[in-house]
């Protein structure tokens, strides 16, 4: 019932954890897509404005070039001048008429020829450069037109009439369905000269007079949020193209993409829930298997003797754990201890190991109360009050109790230093296992309450060999001697190794040269 409740609790937890992870990842992804799409849509709006500008300005440039050349026209409207004007009007669809106006403001001729009676329009402005008028109703043709004109050096004006129908057709929204409006405006006043759509401008932002391209996004005077882009004409700086698009359409991706993103989100969420549930189930399964093995007494201790090489006597043992698996046979700690450390079962396993050692070794302690007993401990166990309590119980039975830690376990937590001092005060000896293979240093050897160093078997194996490990072994022995630390050599497998170590003052050995790890019955026979 408890396991089922734990399973349901984990499933709910995994459900929400998966939701948080997927929401965070897809939230970032959607934000990225939103920003990219928004910038892409803004670029599309600018591209439309450039297209309008190109379509109009390409014609305006042609007209302007013609008006520049008009400085050489005969003011008496000769046949050559009329013919030249007429050819230009016929070749240029954007132009409906070209006229020559005297300095007094009289239209004297156009592409139809010389007027029988000059028609007064208005006096030309005494200002050089291209300028525009209108839209106006042409007094001669009686049609709406947009006028481009230039005043010559002699005061005469040549003007070109562009039909408004052509300009409106160029701006028509059917070509730019995504836009809210398209307009050609006066850059000094902002008044639309030509407009398609509903014209509006940003609130609380002064734009005109305008001298350069600008873009902005915000609240407009029609109470809607829009993106606006304005760019002046090169040939007629008094005119600019203005385009606008509702802001709500800028960052919204294609609905198909949204659907795909939602489906991916749901699939990722479901997949992550399944994955986490599988991991929890596997973790729970391994934990359950190991706890069941403890309950069925499938786990047992073996004891690696610590031998005094001077008299060949067994002074103590290192307690190791084994699993007699019902299907796979005897398993070493490498097969189940790492998994136990991951799922937290290492605590139950270590408590069971101490209890089993207490039962197994009590008869031996009756004969030899100073018999050394050593357990392997990691930093996690030292942080568990229940394990410290069990060590206290063991110390009451084992007078000569040692715990072995790796260098990484010693340095991993500052709190461990305080715990080790408390254990030393209780009379428990602290040993560093596999010494020399981690990141040891004189500072921690002096600051931590360490009594014993176990020389790693890789250094012992280098004895008699010419390799890089050989000088390190001698350095370790010399350092331990100077720091007044006891030494034990692990992995002693040959008489040569034993003799070499003994000559250098390392008298306590551990390895197959003496004994393999023994079960309790074999240990009793050896003793």
Measured in whole angstroms, the distance separating CA 204 from the mean position of its chain's CA atoms is: 38
pLDDT band of 471, cuts 50, 70, 90? confident
The pLDDT of residue 284 is above 60: no
Distance CA 304, CA 489 (A): 13
pLDDT of residue 6: 47
pLDDT of residue 4: 47
Distance CA 319, CA 303 (A): 5
**Which tens digits make up the pLDDT trace of 192-243?**
988 888 999 998 888 899 989 999 998 998 888 999 999 999 888 889 999 9
pLDDT of residue 441: 56
Q: Specify whether the CB–CB gap between 507 and 309 falls below 8 A.
A: yes
β pairing state of 313-325 and 372-376: parallel
Distance CA 95, CA 89 (A): 6
Which residue segments constitute the domains of the chain, with CATH numbers given?
A: 298-526 (3.20.20.450)
Residue 453: which of 408, 406, 500, 391 has the closest Cα? Answer: 406
pLDDT of residue 293: 83
DSSP per-residue string spanning 302-324: EEEEEEETTTTEEEEEEEEEEEE
pTM: 0.51
**Buried-state track 425-462, b at ≥16 Cβ within 10 A, e below 16:** eeebbbbbbbbbebebeeeebeebebebbbbbbebbbb
Report the share of the chain in percent with pLDDT over 70.
Answer: 91
**The token pair that represents 186 in the structure block:** 């006066």
DSSP per-residue string spanning 232-296: E-SS-TTEEEEEEEEGGGTS---HHHHHHHHHHHHHHHHHHHHHHHHHHHHHHHHHHHHHHHHHT
pLDDT band of 353, cuts 50, 70, 90? very high
C-alpha to C-alpha distances, 347 to 279, 378, 387, nearest whole angstrom: 21, 10, 7
Q: Is 493 helix (H, G, I), strand (E, B) or coil?
A: coil
Measured from the Cβ of residue 3, the count of other Cβ atoms closer than 10 Å reads 9
pLDDT of residue 520: 94
**The token pair that represents 163 in the structure block:** 């039909």
Range among 61-75, 390-404, 459-473 with highest mean pLDDT value: 390-404
**The token pair that represents 150 in the structure block:** 């230039």
């Amino acid at each position: 019932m408890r396991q089922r409740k734990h399973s349901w609790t984990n499933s709910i937890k995994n459900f929400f954890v998966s939701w948080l992870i997927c929401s965070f990842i897809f939230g970032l992804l959607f934000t990225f897509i939103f920003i990219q799409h928004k910038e892409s849509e803004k670029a599309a709006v600018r591209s439309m404005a450039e297209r309008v500008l190109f379509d109009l300005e390409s014609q305006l440039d042609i007209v302007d070039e013609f008006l520049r050349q008009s400085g050489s026209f005969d003011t008496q409207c000769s046949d050559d001048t009329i013919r030249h004007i007429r050819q230009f009007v016929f070749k240029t669809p954007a132009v409906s008429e070209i006229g020559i106006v005297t300095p007094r403001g009289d239209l004297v001729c156009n592409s139809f020829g010389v007027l029988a009676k000059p028609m007064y329009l208005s006096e030309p402005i005494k200002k050089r450069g291209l300028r525009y008028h209108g839209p106006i109703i042409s007094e001669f043709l009686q049609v709406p037109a947009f006028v481009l004109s230039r005043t010559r050096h002699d005061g005469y004006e040549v003007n070109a009439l562009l039909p408004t129908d052509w300009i409106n057709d160029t701006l028509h929204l059917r070509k730019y369905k995504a836009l809210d409006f398209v307009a050609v405006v006066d850059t000094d006043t902002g008044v639309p000269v030509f407009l398609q759509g509903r014209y509006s401008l940003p609130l609380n932002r002064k734009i005109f007079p305008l001298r350069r391209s600008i873009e902005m996004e915000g609240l407009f005077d029609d109470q809607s949020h829009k993106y606006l882009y304005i760019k002046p004409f090169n040939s007629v700086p008094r005119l600019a193209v203005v385009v606008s698009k509702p802001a709500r359409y800028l960052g919204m991706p294609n609905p198909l993409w949204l659907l795909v993103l939602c489906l991916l989100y749901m699939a990722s969420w479901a997949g992550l829930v399944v994955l986490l549930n599988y991991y929890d189930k596997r973790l729970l399964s391994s934990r359950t298997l190991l706890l069941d093995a403890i309950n069925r007494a499938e786990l047992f201790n073996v004891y690696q003797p610590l031998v005094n090489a001077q008299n060949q006597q067994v002074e103590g043992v290192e307690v190791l754990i084994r699993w007699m698996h019902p299907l796979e046979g005897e398993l070493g700690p490498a097969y189940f201890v790492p998994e136990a450390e991951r799922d937290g079962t290492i605590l139950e396993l270590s408590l069971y190991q101490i209890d089993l050692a207490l039962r197994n070794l009590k008869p031996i302690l009756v004969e030899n109360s100073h018999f050394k007993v050593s357990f392997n401990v990691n930093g996690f166990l030292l942080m568990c009050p229940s394990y410290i309590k069990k060590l206290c119980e063991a110390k009451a039975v084992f007078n000569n109790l040692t715990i072995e830690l790796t260098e990484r376990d010693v340095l991993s937590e500052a709190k461990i230093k305080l715990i080790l001092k408390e254990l030393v005060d209780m009379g428990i000896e602290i040993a560093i296992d596999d010494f020399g293979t981690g990141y040891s240093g004189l500072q921690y050897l002096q600051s931590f309450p360490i009594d014993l160093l176990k020389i790693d078997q890789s250094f012992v194996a280098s004895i008699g060999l010419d390799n890089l490990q050989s000088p390190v072994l001698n350095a370790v022995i010399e350092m331990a001697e100077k720091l007044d630390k006891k030494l034990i050599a692990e992995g002693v497998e040959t008489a040569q190794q034993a003799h070499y170590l003994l000559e250098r003052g390392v008298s306590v050995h551990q390895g197959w040269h003496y004994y393999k790890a023994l079960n309790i019955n074999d240990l009793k026979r050896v003793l």
